[in-house]
Structure formats: C-alpha cells, structure tokens
Amino acid sequence: MSEGSFRLGCDIGGTFTDFVLLDDQTGKLWIHKCLTTPGDPSDAVEAGIRALERSTPGFLAGLEEVIHGTTLVINAIIERKGAPTGLITTRGFRDVLELGREIRYAPYDMLAEFPEPLVPRRLRREVDERVRADGSVLRPLDPEQARQVVRSLVEDGVRSIAVCLLNSFENPVHERELRSIVAEEAPEVSVSISYEVLPQIREYERTSTTVANAYVKPLTSSYLSRLRGRLGSLGFGGKLFVMLSSGGVTSAETAAHVPVRIIESGPTAAVIAGQYYGKRFGLPEMFCFDMGGTTAKSCLIQGGEAGVVPTFEVGRVQRFQKGSGLTIQVPVVDLMEIGAGGGSLARVSRLGTLQVGPESAGADPGPVCYGQGGVEPSVTDADLVLGYLDGEHFLGGEMRLDRDAARRAIAERIARPLGVDLIQAVWGIHDLINETMAAAAKTHIAEKGGNPRVVTVTAFGGAGPVHAYGLAKKLGAPRLLVPPNAGVGSAMGFFTAPRAFDLVRSHKVALKEADLGELEGIYRELEAEGRRTLERGGSLQRLSFDRSVDARFVGQGSETNVPLPAGEMTALSPKDLRRRFDEVYERLYGRTYPDSDLELVSFRVRASLPEKLLELPRLEPASGEGGAGGAGDAAPADPAAALKGERPAYCALTGDYVSHGVYDRYRLGPGARFSGPAIVEERESTVVVGRDASVRVDSFGFLWIDLPQREGEDDEL
C-alpha cells in the first residue's frame, strides 16, 4: 500500500452515511456504507472509518484529507433544532423577518401559511444607530444601550446572536462594535454579523441569511469540533474539509464560522461528480438525478457546467411552492428537489388516494423491511416486493431485508384500504414516485431551456439507479448513464470539487460615476479575504481569482451577473463594462436597452485553487473474479460471465412478474453488451433495466443504457 496518498470522502445522508477511500497514486477505491446515526452523526463516521481500517489496514497513517458533506445544517433548520437565537437590528427593522418581500406565494389562498421565523419576535432587539446608504454615520451606536440589549438577550436564554444593521454592507463599524460588546458581555454566546455572513443589499435576504447562520452556528461548531476530535483519536493527522453548497470545498474552520454556506453540501457533491463526468464524456446536456433514502435532488448540467444561483429556500411550508420557505442568500448549485427517497412513506390520503412522501422513515426506524421497528411501508419496501432488490444481499449481504414484512405492511396499510390487490398497491407506490419526480423534472428542465428528449439522465444514490429507468422513460430521454459506485455518488463527487470560496460585497454606484480605482480596492479586499479563507486549508500555491459584477439598468429590481477579465479594474473603461453587460443581457433576454443608464450593485470574487481531480481507472479486460472495488478490476467482456442467475421482477407491460437476468457489476468488463429485462447489482446500489433497453459497458465501467425513442409508447419496465 502506498503511503501519504489517501483521501477519504464521507457523506452523511438522512438514511445512510457513505464512505469512499481513494488512493491518489493508484486510483484504487474502497467503498463502505452504513446507517446514519441521527443522534450524533459523528458516531457513524467513526464506525465507518473503523470498518474501512479493518478492510484496508494502515490507511489512516497515509490519510491526507477527509472531505465531508452533511445534511446536519439543513435538517437543523427544517426540524427547528438549532440554538435559541436573538437578533439585534436597527430601530424600526425588528419585523423584517415577517415582512419579507411583502409577496404572497399563493395570492388567492386566504389561508396560505408562511414559515415561522427562526427568531421569535420576543428575542429581537433594536438599537439606536443609523448608517446612511453611502456608508456615512448618521447616528452613532450607543455602547451602553447596546450592552443592555445584549444582557437582556442573555437573560432570555439565547445561545447565539445575529447582528444585522441597516446599510452595514457599506460601513460595518457598528456591527463590529456590537460583536466586541457581545464578546465582553457574554463570551460563551456565539455571534454572527451580517457584514461577514452576507455584506449585500436587500434587507430581508441579508437578515434571514444572518439569522440562519447564527441559528445553526453553535450546533455546527460543536459537531465539527467533536468530529475533529474523533478523527484525531483514530490517528488522523491530515486536513478536514467540508463541501460548500456552491460546489467547492473549504476548511472545517470556515464551515464552522459560516455554516449557512454548507446547507446543501451533500446533494451538491453528486452534481459536481455529474459535471465532471459530463466534461469527461463530452455530453452537452445531462440531467443529474440523486435519489437517496430521504430525498431526491436533480440538476440540469449544460455544456459541462452546473448552474449556480445566488439564493434559495429552506423549510417550505408548501414543499414545491416557491416563496413558502425561509430565504437564504448564499451561492448554491441550482438544485431542485424532485421527489422523495427510498425511505419515503406510502399512505392512503384523506381523499382515499395513494400518497407517497414527503414523510420519510429515515435511518431510525427505517423502512419496514429493515426490521428496526418501522411499521409504515416505504418506497424501498415496494422495490423489494417488486423483485428489484435482493433481500439476501443488500449492501453486499451485510444487511438482510425482510420481504415478507414489507409485503404484509403494504397489504394491510395500502392495498386493503384502497380496495386493490397487492401487486397494484406495490406497483402504484413505485410508479407514483417516478411520476412525481418526472413531472418536477420536466418543469426544472424547461425552466433552464433544456429538452428532456435529448438529455442524458445520470443516476446517483442508493435508490437512484433503481428508479432511473422509469424516470428516463417518463421524461422521454434517449439515454441513461450509471457510473460505477453510483450508490455513493456524493462521496465520489468530493474528489472532483475544487477548493474554492465565493465572496460578495454590495456598493451601489452609477456606471458613469464609478471610480474604477475605488472598485479595484473593493476587489482587492475581497481577494485578500478569499486568500485568508483558503489559507485555513493549507497551501496557497497557484491561487486564482475570478471576478464578476452584478449590474442592472437604473430603476430595475434585479441584477445581471457579468464576468470580468483577469487584471485590474483600472485597465477597463466604463465603455468596456457597458459592452460586456449588453452582451450578457442580450444573450439572456434577446435584446438590450442601449439608451438606459447602468448601475453597478454587487462585486463578486471566487477564490480557488487548482482542482485535484479524480482519475477514472480503466477496467482491464480479463477473465476471472471481479473485486469489490468496482472500476479498475479485471473483468471479462462476455456478459455471460457476470450473469449470477435470474430473478422474477415486476413488469408493468405484462402486469406480472417476469424473469430478469441478474448481473454482477464487478464482473462486467469493457465492451460487454446485453439487453433487458435485467438487474445489475453492486454493493451500494441496484440498476433496473427494462426489457426494451440495451446496455453497454465502457472502458471505465460506466453503464450506458439506450432507450428506444418511439412516440406514444407507454412507460414500462
């Protein structure tokens, strides 16, 4: 075994915690998967690393990096399990969290609900201070009043304080004073100031984001500190990194300081892996589909790039209704939740119809078939009864699934109340979740200007490959791509993500009045901050910066992001900036308005280090046994050598169970070809292939599944 060349990806999901160990020198991979421990996610991390140490003795001595993704932050917000938090704001702005943008997401629904703010009104305090829009101080902060405000919040039991003052993005002097006062009066209380979390215009978004950061900061800091300690006790002496929602990775120290940046860290990693595969194979449009045990997320990747948006919502009251959640304004990969996961519960609704999700069995107790006390049937239970999963060899045989218990639960709780036979109930659960995901996916693709009939669907997650064929059929997609180790796709994605951090600062100025030297000063401050942030993760060799500016027509309510060339702002002219804006605006909207004046609003910098990419190992054509490592092992090209046998599984066309060939994925060699109906099994996931599809294995072990394109055909397996 090589020394000092290992990286470990660890993704904590709602049901399973996934591990991928990579030897950078040889490209060899080791995979592990275990149930998540919701009470303390670091328990599962330690258990998984110990299991890897048993199968790969001595790797910890050469482990350089642990790259981590977690749902801890988003779950804390959704489940309201963060710290008691207080808010200090400028007098007159106490109710910004309720006022929001003063837009009703359902204007004709008089009973429409909005999410409760993370900070109740009784824990919000105002201070007498005022900073003008140009950054000049109109009314200084009264230190004694500020101390009284902090003391009152501490007496009310807060463990974290958010500070968000008017126009502080132009001049943070009062926010910094308040931070010092909190440190003096209550050093045990965590504090987040908006100038460090989001120094950007728009009062509601800035306040909401700062409050969210403060709400989860104690929990995240405690968890990451505990995780570092447990890793150290195991003998790990390298660097701990955390996946950002924007698609980069950052140090654990940065993640603990601004945890709002890691809200979507787990799902983002699978998209970054899909982006890497899209570039590697030259696919113009990919629909990345990641279905785990709790949720399913998607992203349309166009031209090898996943879109990044500046804002998103958490904890929606109406799951798919935009505007019904808490607004978080940080850079995030443009993900869309398109359905539920393998643990999503199936129930009969009050209207007497079948309903699947959004509630999930999670890891505890899990689906009925796990035998851990679950009583409500789930999607995984249905997939098992349909024959798509092998209950005797789930997770490579480490976990046995109880098919009889799953069948009884579906019969008693779904089939009998609906008055249908068992097969109709079981298939209904599977097909309904596919239909729900397909409907959402079509909307997502259309909004991005894509065409579902030309995309390559790429499946990740433990449940993704099981449902990907049905989803692709409903989309009308021509091709399905399933990477090796798809069941741990997010953990694989950590190895393809750059070490990067995004920064932004607002400073509104008319283009014709802009002092380019002053703007260069803003960019240099942002770059210095980016350098300091990345320094926490180690070496800064070949550090690079990408600049852009958010600009708009004077009086317009939204901005357009305009990339800027390398070099100083003083090398540009207002005419150059105007030309670049017009080019981007016309490409997006079909025309521009040359007679309308522009204003520059926010300045952005992405600080990044060179990517340390995952080198895809090639399969070696040979005969004999395949290893458990997946791609890179010797395997024959003849698919018959990988055929484990046959298993009856449900076919919608015949309305009955038909024989499916069952293949061992680790024994499928480059060039192997076969047709459905088929089931391809690997340790962490199972690929279901309908009878009208054909499968080809490439030199890297990817499964390329071609689907026929016939107008009007039924969706079937």
In order, the DSSP letters of 298-322 are EEEEETTEE-EES-EEES-SSTT-T
Q: Is the pLDDT of residue 510 over 90?
A: yes
Rg (CA), the chain: 26
Handedness of CA 623, 626, 631, 637 (dihedral sign): positive
Cis peptide before 563 (omega within 30 of 0): no
Q: Is the pLDDT of residue 120 over 50?
A: yes
Residue 36 is predicted with a pLDDT of 84
In the predicted model, what is the mean pLDDT of the chain? 88
- What is d(CA 390, CA 403) in angstroms, rounded to the nearest whole number? 9
Is residue 114 predicted with pLDDT exceeding 70?
yes
CA distance 24 to 19: 16
Predicted local distance difference test score (pLDDT) of residue 619: 78
Q: Which of 29-38, 398-407, 518-527 has the lowest mean pLDDT?
A: 29-38
CA distances from 118 to 365, 433, 571 (A): 28, 31, 45
Contacts of 533 (CB under 8 A, 6+ apart): 250, 251, 254, 501, 503, 607
Q: What is the pLDDT of residue 540?
A: 67
pLDDT digits (tens, 9 = 90+) for 665-716: 999 999 999 998 999 999 888 999 999 899 999 999 999 999 987 654 444 4
* 682/644 Cα distance (integer angstroms): 12
Q: How far apart (Å, rounded) are the C-alpha atoms in residues 427 and 418?
A: 13
* Euclidean distance between CA atoms 182 and 201, whole angstroms: 25
Which DSSP state fits 378? B
Place of tokens 């940080």: 330
Distance of CA 540 to the CA centre of its chain: 26
Cα-based distances in Å from 16 to 282, 433, 494: 32, 20, 17
CATH, range 6-77+222-262 = 3.30.420.40
Query: Where along the chain do the CATH 3.30.420.40 domains lie?
Result: 6-77+222-262
Which residues does 278 contact at the CB level (< 8 Å), separation at least 6? 286, 301, 304, 458
pLDDT in tens, 420-464: 999 999 999 999 999 988 988 888 888 888 889 999 999 998 889
> What secondary structure does DSSP assign to 9-69, as a single string?
EEEE-SSEEEEEEEETTT--EEEEEEE--TT-HHHHHHHHHHHHHHHSTTGGGGEEEEEEE
> Is the backbone peptide bond immediately before 358 cis, with ω within 30 degrees of 0?
yes
The 10s digit of each residue's pLDDT in 138-176 is: 999 999 999 999 999 999 999 999 999 999 999 999 999
Q: What percent of the chain has pLDDT over 70?
A: 94
Residue in 119, 308, 94 with CA at minimum distance from that of residue 213? 119
Q: Cα–Cα distance between 214 and 224 in angstroms, integer? A: 16
Specify whether the backbone of 173 is left (phi greater than 0), alpha (psi in -120 to 50) or beta. alpha
Query: What is the pLDDT at residue 613?
Result: 66
CATH topology of domain 500-608: Dna Ligase; domain 1 (3.30.1490)
Q: What is the pLDDT of residue 143?
A: 95
> Structure tokens of 684?
């962490």
Q: What separation in angstroms does the CA of 339 have from each of 13, 294, 405?
A: 16, 9, 25
Per-residue pLDDT band at 626 (split at 50, 70, 90) = very low
Helix (H) or strand (E) holding 281: helix 265-281
- Contact between 114 and 97 under an 8 Å Cβ cutoff? The reply is no
What pLDDT is attached to residue 440? 85
pLDDT for position 710:
60
- Taking the C-alpha atoms of residue 658 and residue 617, their distance in angstroms, rounded to an integer, is 36
* % residues pLDDT > 90 (the chain): 56
Q: Could you tell me the maximum CA-CA distance found in the chain, to the nearest angstrom?
A: 80
Helix (H) or strand (E) holding 357: strand 354-360
Q: pLDDT for 218-263, tens place per residue?
A: 999 999 999 999 999 998 988 999 999 988 899 999 999 999 999 8
Residue 539: the pLDDT is 66
* Range of weakest confidence among 90-99, 192-201, 273-282, 608-617: 608-617
Q: Within a 10 A sphere around the Cβ of 441, how many other Cβ atoms?
A: 26
CATH 3.30.1490 residue ranges in the chain? Answer: 500-608
- Closest by CA to 266, choosing from 438, 488, 502, 500, is 488
- Residue 605: which pLDDT band, with cuts at 50, 70 and 90? very high
Contact (CB, 8 A) for 337 and 267: no
Ramachandran quadrant class, 339 (left: phi over 0; alpha: psi -120 to 50; beta: rest): left
Report d(CA 388, CA 227) in Å as an integer: 36
pLDDT of amino acid 628 = 40
Structure tokens at 603: 């300045």
For 64, 114, 246, 311, 336, the CA distances from 322, given in Å and listed in that order, are 42, 11, 20, 12, 11
CATH 3.40.50 occupies which residues in the chain? Answer: 82-217
pLDDT of residue 293: 75
Confidence band (pLDDT; 50, 70, 90) for 497?
A: confident
> With bands split at pLDDT 50, 70 and 90, how would you rate the model's confidence at 717?
low
Structure tokens at 37: 């421990």
Question: According to DSSP H, which parts of 359-460 are helical?
Answer: 379-385, 403-410, 416-418, 422-447
Residue 476, Cα to own-chain centre: how many angstroms?
A: 25
pLDDT tens by residue, 555-576: 898 999 999 998 889 889 999 9
Upstream peptide bond of 677 is cis (omega within 30 degrees of 0): yes
Show the tokens assigned to 312. 């998103």
Predicted local distance difference test score (pLDDT) of residue 363: 67
Task: Give the residue from 26, 29, 10, 4 showing the smallest Cα distance to 484.
Answer: 29
CA 506 distance to own-chain centroid: 26
List pLDDT tens digits, range 649-662: 998 877 889 999 99
pTM: 0.84
Per CATH, domain 82-217 is 3.40.50? yes
